[in-house]
Amino acid sequence: MDENERFLWSQLEPACVLRRVLRQIPIILAGGVIAILCAWMAMTYAYRPAYTASTTLAVSVKSSSYSSVLSNLSMSAEIAETFTTLFESNVFDTLAANSLGQEKLPGTLSATVIPETNLLVLTVTADRPDEAFRTLQLVLDNYDQVSEQMFQNVILRELDGPQVPTAPSNPLNRTRILRLAGMGGAGVVLVLVLLAAIGADTVQNTEGLRRKVDAKAFALIGHEVKNKTLHTKLHRVNKGLLVTMPVASFAFTETFYKLGVKLTYAAKNSGHKVFLITSVAENEGKSTVAANIALTLAQRGKKVLLIDADLHKAAQYKLLQHEPRLELADMLSGAAQYAPEYLEEQQLYVLFSRKASKQAAEQIASEHMAEVLRRAREEMDYVIVDSPPIALFSDVEALADQADASLLVVRQDGVPARRINDAADMLNECRGELLGCILNDMRTLPFLGGGERYGYGYGYGYGYGYGYGAYGHRRHSGGEEERKQTENRHG
């Protein structure tokens, strides 16, 4: 659609751009270093120092008859200009070179007139300071024989003798050049990073989701750190972030409670019981979302079964820190009977797998999986199914056909929108209804407002690697009481 393809600044989230820039700092710095090295090589191999020796001459005449004429200042300057042409001509260059026994005079000879005077400044520029001085001295020693041929009554008188130059006349400010090169190189890379961030075909906010994705936004989940102290960060105490954890803020738990209420209404209106939670790719947080939805529904007194149907890389047993007595893979292969485990602390029924199964696709599509879901529909109020990523495995299509409805977890600034649309199209073609997308791990810059920031993030550092950092929010001391009050308001 044209609306989807047209770029709008409202689709761009500054926090995503900033995060991309911060991630590319090493590359930006590398661009500056490369520019510095190139500038250093250019100065080393291309720069040639030049040394200039100079002297000042006064133009005068020998004949008194000419004195009255040349006493006019403008006339003296005119003769000085004539000598300038003479010094710069090939005639003088050839005569002076012959006196040295060389084909060409070393260095470059030039003569300039000081304005409004009869003073002539003679300079010689050469690659070496001794050559510049020696060439200028030879010019001064031999100019008489050239000037006599041109002006017999005009003489040149030295006002100051030439000196050996001690420093180049074209010095390089190496420090400044290297600084500018480094800033320029880093700046070019920074511009490229910004252009890539601006042109990225990812979903960065709800406006981008609405315009780029052919599925509605079902819920927004913000960003929050799971380990909020230095000790917990270093030791990675919390492997995941669940609504039952003490470190979970009120904003975190309230966001999932509202998500559970919305899911309950959707189930009540349509009669759905089995909900599939999936994502396009790994590292989008679907497993944590599935676990927290199940826990939230269980806290409301519902009989909930959480099934970890990702038989490739199971994660739920790590999130809930529960070692399964029976493997779901064994039930699907016929080696064990349907027997959900009840977690007393979480008030939740679970069917987990720990070991990866080589026949995952066949087992998910088998009659045993259909029987598990049939039994679960009969015994449970809600069944939450955590599936593998759509882009990696074909199991999801079979699960979506057996589920009543599905939710697609989309991490902010994650996979391209076209891949999200492909996944949404696949889910729409299945029997289960696609309820919409959960825009996850939402981050905004605090000083820009950001009404979409709910203060929730999640992650764990294993399995598919759903591990996020974040900026945490302080947990309210009365969070549990506030949650109960909210629950009463919602009935």
DSSP state of 478: T
Domain ranges of the chain: 2-47+172-198, 51-160, 206-490
Q: Whose CA is closest to 412, among 242, 162, 157, 217?
A: 217
**How far, in Å, CA of 111 to CA of 84, rounded?**
5
Give the DSSP H or E segment for 158: strand 154-160
Count, residues in the chain: 491
Strands (E), 189-319: 217-222, 274-279, 304-308
Which superfamily, per CATH, for 51-160?
EIF_2_alpha (3.30.70.1130)
Distance CA 429, CA 438 (A): 19
Calpha distance 361→379 (Å, rounded): 26
Extract the tokens encoding 471: 């900026």
Burial (CB count within 10 angstroms: exposed 0-12, middle 13-18, buried 19+), residue 448 = exposed
pLDDT in tens, 26-66: 999 999 999 999 999 999 999 899 999 999 988 776 654 54
Q: Which position has the token pair 């006599």?
A: 148
- pLDDT of 98-142, one tens digit each? 766 666 777 888 888 888 777 888 888 999 998 889 888 877 877
Run of H or E including 54? strand 51-61
Exposure of 196 in the CB half-sphere (CA atoms within 13 A): 12
Strand partners, 351: 307
Q: Which two tokens stand for residue 373?
A: 């879901």
Q: Distance between CA atoms of 139 and 106, rounded to whole angstroms?
A: 11
Residue 185 structure tokens: 């190189």
DSSP 215: S
Give me the pLDDT at residue 465, please.
35
pTM: 0.72
> Which residues are registered as beta bridge partners of 295?
none
**pLDDT per residue rounded down to tens, the chain (491 residues):** 444 456 788 888 999 999 999 999 999 999 999 999 999 999 999 989 999 999 998 877 665 454 444 454 565 666 666 766 766 667 666 766 676 666 677 788 888 888 877 788 888 899 999 888 988 887 787 776 665 555 566 677 888 888 899 999 989 899 999 999 999 999 999 999 999 988 888 999 989 999 999 999 999 998 877 766 666 666 666 667 899 888 888 888 899 999 999 999 988 888 899 999 999 998 899 999 999 999 999 999 999 999 999 999 889 999 998 999 999 999 998 889 999 999 999 999 999 988 888 888 899 999 999 999 999 999 999 999 999 999 888 889 999 999 999 999 999 999 999 999 999 999 999 998 999 999 998 888 876 554 444 433 333 333 333 333 333 333 333 344 444 444 444 44
Domain 206-490: which CATH number of 3.40.50.720, 3.90.950.10, 3.20.20.70, 3.40.50.300: 3.40.50.300
Residue 134 and residue 99: Cα distance in Å, rounded? 12
The confidence score (pLDDT) of residue 477 equals 35
